[in-house]
Amino acid sequence: MSTWHNTRSRILVAAAFMLTSASMLAQTPTASGTINATLTNKNGIALVFDTDPSGVTLGAAGSSNASLSFGTISAFGPLSPGVTRPSVTAASFTVRSPFDIQVIQGGLTSTSYTLSASLAGPAPTGLSYKVDTVTLTTAAQRIQANGVYDTDVAHNLDLVVSTASPGAGGPAVGTPLTATINFTATAN
């Protein structure tokens, strides 16, 4: 073999080695794997309070634990925005604010729900609470029989206030009075 042939062979071997080394350096190492996710889908419903466009802006709207403040009320004079006074008589006056309830369902075959409400405790003296036309007590009472899921349904919260003086069965004056109303939606 000639020197030329040996040199040429060495050059080819060196070139092949460099090409192989370059391609090995250019490779990006990878790894792969799998994960098997398991879940159990549970059906259910959720109740959410929303502000009605013509009512008081609810505190914590969009949740299941909202608040509605009527502000300062009286039989006569201005009321807070979103509060109306549909009735004034010698014995009482009523203030009202609409609010919306949305019941969201998932995984149910039910197409509607029944809505009930009750006071968590007795109403303060001289006051009564109504949802729509139902006067509330501490016992659950049906408000709506065939509510539609996944849509805001408007309801009225009425506060009926006695015009009697505080010592004669009327409410305390100048003191914030509160009540908690519990709502329950049951799939039909």
Q: Are 96 and 80 in contact (CB under 8 A)?
A: no
pLDDT value, residue 157? 98
Q: What is the dihedral of CA 140, 145, 150, 151, to 10 degrees?
A: -100
Which residue matches tokens 């792969």?
32
Looking at domain 44-187, its CATH architecture is: Sandwich (2.60)
Q: How far apart are CA 165 and CA 172, in angstroms?
A: 8
Instruction: Provide mean pLDDT across the span 54-62.
Output: 97
pLDDT value, residue 53? 98
Percent of the chain at pLDDT exceeding 90: 73
pLDDT band at residue 32 under the 50/70/90 scheme: confident
pLDDT value, residue 71? 96
**Per the structure block, which two tokens stand in for 49?**
């309070």
pLDDT value, residue 172? 92
**Structure pTM?**
0.79
pLDDT value, residue 39? 76
Instruction: Provide mean pLDDT across the span 46-58.
Output: 97
- pLDDT of residue 41 exceeding 80, the answer is no
- pLDDT of residue 1 exceeding 70, the answer is no
Q: Are 124 and 179 in contact (CB under 8 A)?
A: yes
Instruction: Provide mean pLDDT across the span 84-90.
Output: 98
For 110-121, how does the pLDDT look when each residue is reduced to its tens digit (9 = 90+)? 999 999 999 999
Instruction: Provide mean pLDDT across the span 26-30.
Output: 77
The full 3-state SS of the chain, as one line of letters, equals: CCHHHHHHHHHHHHHHHHHHHHHHHHCCCCCCCCCCCCCCCCCEEEEEEEECCCCCCCECCCECCCECCCCCCCCCCCCCCCCEEEEECCCEEEEEEEEEEEEEEECCCCCEEEEEEEECCCCCCCEEEEECCEECCCCCEEEEEEEECCCCEEEEEEEEEECCCHHHCCCCCCCCCCCCEEEEEEEC
- pLDDT of residue 24 exceeding 70, the answer is no
Least-confidence region, from 24-33, 49-58, 81-90: 24-33
**Per the structure block, which two tokens stand in for 48?**
């959410």
